Amino acid sequence: MKYDFAPMEGITDYTFRLVYDRHFDGISRYYTPFLAPTAHRLFTPKDFKEIDPSVHDISLQVPQLLTNDAAVFTAAAHELKEMGYNVVNLNLGCPSGTVTHKGKGAGFLKYPEKLEKFLDEIFTKSDIPISIKTRVGTDSEEEWDGLLEIYKKFPIAELIVHPRLLSDFYKGKVRSEAFDKAYEQMHCPLTFNGDIKKASDIQSLMDKYTDMDTVMIGRGLLADPFLAEGSEKIDKVRLKNFLNDLLTEYVERFGNERTAIDRLKSIWVYLAESFPGSDKTVKQIKKAQNAAQYKSGVLQALS
Ligand SMILES: Cc1cc2nc3c(=O)[nH]c(=O)nc-3n(C[C@H](O)[C@H](O)[C@H](O)COP(=O)(O)O)c2cc1C
């Protein structure tokens, strides 16, 4: 089984991905958090840092695009191909209101006819393979049948399914039956994404979906960065080295500890799950107002 690191806007930025990859094994590919190109400017300087081919090993990275404009998608995909990338990913899963109310991300699933036209254009005009990361509908699982019929019409390089509806956000049980349908019907490579937290979760997916060779993991890898290495034990020394390295890189990037620590605190929201007996310490880390408070909390948690 191959493990891909899910894109997580605000967390798995380029600094995180580079540092994580220095400290841990087992990840096949890292997805960039979504890049939102526009007709006015395909990539901002901030976006470019996420995809800069002189910094990243592009064979390890999949750039993700969020747009409902086929011409913009095609132009951005072409730029990425010129940089050396061999696949781009389309985001049809983002549930955030600011994205969905513009008919993008999971909001695009509400307009199947428009979506089909968009897919027709990007698959006809793009000169690079396209994978799709999707939810299974917006408000009702009944939408999934129609969406699958659309997806079947296109040469999708890989379909990554997060089997939840837009209205589920990231909560509630994943909708396994919807994924079963995709597994039965789709002929392209299929990847499961959602709530993989333990080795036994991966084993269950391997047992059930024997033809599937990749899973995508997000929060599970933040909670247990060792998950893709096959170990369920947290090695505190390695974890400490990783977090220290990440803090150093963020301070260098942002030029101040405050912003750097805010980034680290957002990781601890998930990492806290691996420290069930340390509620007080983890709270101190998550609420740290300055570097000293943060560092002393981490020191306690990892001692
Ligand atoms: C804070 C946060 C940011 C996310 N950003 C993105 C994103 O930029 N692009 C995307 O496709 N999914 C994004 N996701 C969704 C994740 O990639 C993933 O589909 C979701 O967390 C379910 O997988 P998991 O249970 O393994 O975390 C985000 C999720 C979270 C919690």
Cβ-contact 250, 260 below 8 angstroms: yes
Same domain, 224 and 290: no
Rounded-to-integer distance, Cα 56 and Cα 253, Å: 16
Same domain, 10 and 148: yes
Same domain, 115 and 246: no
Supply the pLDDT for residue 120. Answer: 98
Same domain, 98 and 241: no
Rounded-to-integer distance, Cα 232 and Cα 241, Å: 18
Supply the residue whose CA is at minimum distance from atom 12 of ligand 1.
7
**For residue range 95-119, what is the model confidence (pLDDT) as tens digits?**
999 999 999 999 999 999 999 999 9
Task: Tell how far the Cα of 6 is from the centroid of ligand 1, in angstroms.
Answer: 6
Task: Tell how far the Cα of 34 is from the centroid of ligand 1, in angstroms.
Answer: 10
Q: Which atom of ligand 1 is nearest to the CA of 219?
A: 27
Q: Is the minimum distance from the CB of 217 to ligand 1 under 6 angstroms?
A: yes
Same domain, 43 and 147: yes
Supply the pLDDT for residue 210. Answer: 98
Supply the pLDDT for residue 254. Answer: 96
What are the two backbone dihedrals, phi and then psi, of residue 257, each rounded to the nearest 5 degrees?
-75, -30
Supply the pLDDT for residue 195. Answer: 98
Same domain, 172 and 280: no
Domain housing 10: 2-229
Range list of β-strands (E), the chain: 2-5, 27-31, 61-62, 64-65, 88-92, 130-134, 159-161, 190-193, 214-217
**For residue range 55-67, what is the model confidence (pLDDT) as tens digits?**
999 999 999 999 9
Q: Which of 214, 229, 244 is the last residue of a domain?
A: 229
Q: Is the minimum distance from the CB of 274 to ligand 1 under 6 angstroms?
A: no
Same domain, 171 and 276: no
Supply the pLDDT for residue 185. Answer: 98
Q: Is the minimum distance from the CB of 170 to ligand 1 under 6 angstroms?
A: yes
Q: Which atom of ligand 1 is nearest to the CA of 133?
A: 11
Q: Is the minimum distance from the CB of 196 to ligand 1 under 6 angstroms?
A: yes
Rounded-to-integer distance, Cα 220 and Cα 174, Å: 14
Q: Is the minimum distance from the CB of 95 to ligand 1 under 6 angstroms?
A: no
Supply the pLDDT for residue 63. Answer: 98
Task: Tell how far the Cα of 217 is from the centroid of ligand 1, in angstroms.
Answer: 9
Same domain, 179 and 35: yes
Same domain, 43 and 83: yes
Same domain, 42 and 161: yes
Same domain, 153 and 13: yes
Supply the pLDDT for residue 267. Answer: 96
Same domain, 169 and 131: yes
Supply the pLDDT for residue 276. Answer: 78
pLDDT tens, position by position, for the chain (303 residues)? 999 999 999 999 999 999 999 999 999 999 999 999 999 999 999 999 999 999 999 999 999 999 999 999 999 999 999 999 999 999 999 999 999 999 999 999 999 999 999 999 999 999 999 999 999 999 999 999 999 999 999 999 999 999 999 999 999 999 999 999 999 999 999 999 999 999 999 999 999 999 999 999 999 999 999 999 987 788 999 999 999 999 999 999 999 999 999 999 999 999 999 887 778 888 889 889 888 899 899 989 988
Domains held by the chain: number? 2
Q: Which of 210, 229, 248 is the last residue of a domain?
A: 229
Q: What is the CATH number of the domain that holds 178?
A: 3.20.20.70
Task: Tell how far the Cα of 10 is from the centroid of ligand 1, in angstroms.
Answer: 10
Supply the pLDDT for residue 303. Answer: 84
Rounded-to-integer distance, Cα 40 and Cα 60, Å: 29
- The DSSP annotation for 172-193 comes to S---HHHHHHHHHH--S-EEEE
Q: Which of 207, 229, 251 is the last residue of a domain?
A: 229
- pTM here? 0.97
Q: Which atom of ligand 1 is nearest to the CA of 195?
A: 25
